[in-house]
Amino acid sequence: MYIKDFIEYLQRERRMSKNTLEAYKRDVHEFVAFEGARGMTDLLDTSSTEIVAFLHDLKISGKSAATVNRKLASVRAFFNFLMNSGLVSSNPTADIKSPKIERKELEYLTLEEVDKLLETPDDSIRGIRDKAILEVLYATGIRVSELIEADLEDINMRMGFITCDGEQSKARIVPLGRPARAALETYIYEARNALVKDNTEEKALFVNYYGSRITRQGLWKVLKEYGEKAGIEKKLTPNIMRNSFAVHMLQNGADLKSLQELMGHEDISATQAYLAVTKNRIKDVYDKTHPRA
């Protein structure tokens, strides 16, 4: 009962995306199941000891620090909700610190790798679709969920932009570059109808062979296939495409605030993570070119 009310609250007050809500729901249910297995009968009696035990169990089961942090954040938000609802007097997670995350080196494509990748799709119906997918991902830096959830009506071809709902259902407009617009036009007017066939009521922008919305798994397969065909040694993922967009924008003079808006980051600290890459590049250029470096 508490969890249902909590999710409804997040949906109503925080306007979170469907995927985010599902993650909160799974995390809290996992905590409740853990507590139930330990004999806890009333969640309202939870203490910090139970929270620590839950986090320890996650750690010894091999969960990464990032995953543990996310689950702790979900449980923390749940008890904040219970506290604000007057059901508990304090939040048992209040004094528990999140595990430190070792920052992995940011993976992104070089300009040469991007060129190779975008030249790889052929002129078949599927190739035309895949070319449009790759061009849009690189041109906009949108999330994988935003791409697969995009509808035809979200594309404004005349003005050259795509509308994304983004996190917490906050819509934003992202420009499409000329190559992405050209690839989309070819796909929409030459390939999409062949894929949709009789399913004329399908609203999805990108569809699969069955004429229905492309899935997350389907998109990952597209990237994996073309990454291998292009001879890219990195394992190509939607996140690498997003990283490539951000890094290349900064390398070519984009300001941090504009990039934050384009990427739909709630907190600018998420955007600042890309700065380290550009700083390293500037130092490399300096070291290679300055006579007294």
Q: Which residues are catalytic?
A: 242, 286
The Cα-based distances of 205 to 95, 153, 238, 263, 291 in angstroms read 46, 8, 17, 20, 52
Instruction: Determine the Cα–Cα distance for residues 278 and 271; give it in Å rounded to an integer.
Output: 12
Per the CB < 8 A criterion, the answer to whether 108 and 118 are in contact is no
The Cα-based distances of 230 to 7, 124, 131, 209, 225 in angstroms read 43, 17, 13, 23, 9
Helix (H, G, I), strand (E, B) or coil at 75: helix
